């Protein structure tokens, strides 16, 4: 086999594996997002102010222990998805000096 044929065969083999590599990396990104979700329970909702009180477990990505606290919803429409007493998983970020809830999902 010539060097040229060997290079061509190797290139074709790597090209064929490329979708497999990308597919195996995609779930890791999704699972890291899931790892950043925090378990909580809705205690109070103030739709007019866009605020939600959540009793939550540790927020790992912010190194915060579990407690009950008031968060601002980044989008007030998120508050329409829940009611007091709901068990949830939520994403929180720190922006402009506020703790913002950016995603709310029902706990499974």
- Residues 51 and 94 placed together within one structural domain of the fold: yes
Other CB atoms within a 10 A radius of the CB of residue 66 amount to 13
- Residues 29 and 45 placed together within one structural domain of the fold: no
Query: How many residues belong to the chain?
Result: 108
Q: State how many domains the chain has.
A: 2
Q: pLDDT 10s digit of each residue in the chain, 108 long?
A: 677 665 656 666 655 554 544 444 444 444 455 568 999 999 999 999 999 999 999 999 999 999 999 999 999 999 999 999 999 999 999 998 889 999 999 998
- Residues 47 and 31 placed together within one structural domain of the fold: no
Record the pTM: 0.69
Q: Which domain holds residue 44?
A: 38-106
Cβ-Cβ contacts under 8 Å for 70 (sequence gap 6 or more): 44, 51, 52, 53
Give the C-alpha distances (Å, rounded to integers) separating 56 from 43, 45, 48, 66, 84: 10, 15, 22, 5, 14
3-state secondary structure of 101: strand
- Residues 21 and 74 placed together within one structural domain of the fold: no
* CATH, residue 89: 2.40.50.320
């Amino acid at each position: 086999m010539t060097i040229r044929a060997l290079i061509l065969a190797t290139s074709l083999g790597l090209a064929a594996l490329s979708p497999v590599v990308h597919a195996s990396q995609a779930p890791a990104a999704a699972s890291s997002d899931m790892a950043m979700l925090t378990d909580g329970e809705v205690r109070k909702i103030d739709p007019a102010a866009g605020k939600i009180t959540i009793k939550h477990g540790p927020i790992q990505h912010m190194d915060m222990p579990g407690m009950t606290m008031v968060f601002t919803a980044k989008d007030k429409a998120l508050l329409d998805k829940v009611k007091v007493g709901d068990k949830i998983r939520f994403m929180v970020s720190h922006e402009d000096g506020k703790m913002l809830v950016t995603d709310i999902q029902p706990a499974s």
